[in-house]
Amino acid sequence: MFLEQFNKENTQLGWIEVICGSMFSGKTEELLRRLRRAEFANQSIILFKPVLDNRYAAESVVSHQGQSWNATRVSESASILKHWNGEQIVAIDEAQFFDRQIIQVCVELAQKGVRVVIAGLDMDYLGQPFGPIPDLMAIAEFVSKVHAVCVSCGNLAQFSHRTVSQKEQVLVGATEKYKPLCRACFQKAKA
């Protein structure tokens, strides 16, 4: 699926991978799976998460299934470049929470030969494109859209339905605030 890319000087080129989907679709699990494979190949890795994401653990990215990896918390995307020390892989979880400069940060890293692996929600709780993820998908070499299972009917789910009354776009939470729904069940729940 992911091929190493070399230019005519035979030096490795970087690229951008985006893993997107709804909540509970396995985005973080897939991100961590890719990092474990790279670690096995002795590739250097740094993982970032937004300060805003305070679920599960402060200094780790943790999936809903309990898998974890140490992470550097940053409040703005420009800080990623300040923390990068030449690692071959830069991974970013919950990228929808970063400012729009994350797009340029990812491009700059890829141009320096870095494999950039990003995970994030592609839609907010209203089913609208979320933050910089749609633009990152457009410029990425590889995009993987993962799906959850609709908790109402069992079909594939691509929507993160909010089950609490708060209306702000960003509301960090898990099963206490969200559930995955398919398109039909999402439309019924919104009605």
Contact indicator for 157, 181 with CB cutoff of 8 Å: yes
Identify which of 22, 20, 62 has the alpha carbon closest to the alpha carbon of residue 148: 22
- Please tell me which residue in 9, 76, 87, 94 is annotated as part of the active site: 94
Q: Is 59 a catalytic residue?
A: no
Both tokens assigned to 165: 């009354």
- Please provide residue 157's backbone torsions phi and psi, each rounded to the nearest 5 degrees: -115, 135
Residue type (1 letter), 72: T
Cα dist. 39→2, 25, 87, 115, 134 in Å? 16, 23, 12, 13, 28
Q: Which residues are catalytic?
A: 94
